[in-house]
Amino acid sequence: SAAMAHGHGPGHGPCCCCGAAEGGGGAAWGLYLRIDRQRLQCLNERREGSGALVFRSWEQRGDRAQFVESDDDEELLFNVPFTGNVKLKAVMVLGGEGGTHPAELRLFKNVPHMSFDDVAREPEQTFALSRDLTGELEYPTKIARFSNVYHLSMHFPKNFGAETTKIFYIGLKGEWTEARRHEVTICSYEASANPADHKLEQITPQTHFIS
């Protein structure tokens, strides 16, 4: 029967619904759709543009073909601008085998264009990371500190001892809301060319995404 063809019992490997840590499954990790990819930066990436590949759907977190590797040393720094305001609830990091897996993550809020010169400042939150190759570990944020984020910087200062750091997937869990007008002026650098422009309220949020 058709019913038998679809259900091979609960133990037939990962599907899109089982294995999620809590309700919503992959949908809870949908903030990657709200990243402004034109302005996403990864500093010290060995291959240009590879840092952007690690922000993808929760269902694709196990894709080992897409990853970023650090270049000069083990540090990586991501600047992640959003298309609105985000309440960040948790992060997930899948790293490389052995010593290449990042060992620490420092999160900074609303500091656009961070560079390695800026990482000496106090982060909003620091996580000691465990090795996670399959996407089982969630790191909950202090939500009160991450309730109004339009730009997230993620600094990975060290790994478990290898020359370089490898990251295969970064998951961001939370809620997104449209930017209100005054926040648009803060985080839209395009608008700064004409600060007297009062047409900002006509900016419509991005509603379609290029996958």
pLDDT tens for 132-154 read 999 999 999 999 999 999 999 99
Measured CA to CA, the distance from residue 59 to residue 15 in angstroms comes to: 8
- The one-letter amino acid at 205: P
Average pLDDT over residues 102-125: 97
| 79-106 pLDDT per residue, tens | 999 999 999 999 999 999 999 999 999 9
What letter would DSSP give residue 24? T
- In degrees, rounded to 5, the angle at the alpha carbon of residue 30 between the alpha carbons of residues 29 and 35 is 120
Look at residue 166 and tell me if it is in a domain: yes
Whether the per-residue pLDDT at 50 is higher than 60: the answer is yes
Whether the per-residue pLDDT at 194 is higher than 90: the answer is no
Q: What is the number of structural domains in the chain?
A: 1
Strand partners, 14: none
Task: Output the average pLDDT for the chain.
Answer: 83
Which tokens hold the place of 211?
């996958």
Whether the per-residue pLDDT at 113 is higher than 90: the answer is yes
Which residue shows structure tokens 């894709």? 63
Which tokens hold the place of 210?
């290029």
Look at residue 200 and tell me if it is in a domain: no
Look at residue 128 and tell me if it is in a domain: yes
**Which among 161, 188, 40, 45 has a CA at the least distance from the CA of 103?**
161
DSSP sequence for 103-152: -EEEEEES-TT--GGGTTSPPSEEEEPPP-SSS---EE--GGGGSSEEEE
Look at residue 5 and tell me if it is in a domain: no
Which tokens hold the place of 11?
């133990």
Look at residue 209 and tell me if it is in a domain: no
Helix (H, G, I), strand (E, B) or coil at 27: helix
The b-or-e profile of 104-122 (16+ CB within 10 A means b, else e) is: ebbbbbbeeebeeeebeee
pLDDT of residue 65: 95
Whether the per-residue pLDDT at 71 is higher than 70: the answer is yes
List phi, psi (to 5°) of 59: -65, -25
Average pLDDT over residues 175-181: 82
Look at residue 15 and tell me if it is in a domain: no
pLDDT of residue 100: 98
Look at residue 40 and tell me if it is in a domain: yes
| CATH classification of the domain holding 132 | 2.60.120.470
Look at residue 195 and tell me if it is in a domain: no
Which structural domain range is residue 164 located in?
26-178
Q: Are 151 and 110 in contact (CB under 8 A)?
A: yes
